[in-house]
């Protein structure tokens, strides 16, 4: 018998869409879905500045 574990059970993906690299002022980076950053800033624990998507990454296509 198989039990339903939901979309998060898939390996390698949480089903949240295409992730882009967001960087902070000290150079750390995270991969994030752009809509998550649009909801509220993600703040770096190292420098205290928010992660942002570089302009070059937005102009893809």
What's the rounded Cα separation, in Å, for the pair 39 and 51?
13
Token couple for 54: 């570089």
Q: Walk along the chain (61 residues) and give the pLDDT tens digit of each residue.
A: 666 665 555 455 556 689 999 999 999 999 999 999 999 999 999 999 999 998 865 555 5
Q: What are the structural domain ranges in the chain? A: 17-58
Report the predicted TM-score, pTM, of the whole model to 2 decimal places.
0.62
- Sequence-ordered alpha helix ranges (H) in the chain: 34-39, 55-58
């Amino acid at each position: 018998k198989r039990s339903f574990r939901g979309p998060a059970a898939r390996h390698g993906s949480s089903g949240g869409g295409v992730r882009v690299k967001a960087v902070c002022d000290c150079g750390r980076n995270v991969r994030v879905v752009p809509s998550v950053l649009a909801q509220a800033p993600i703040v770096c624990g190292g420098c205290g500045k928010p992660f942002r998507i570089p302009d070059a990454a937005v102009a893809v296509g």
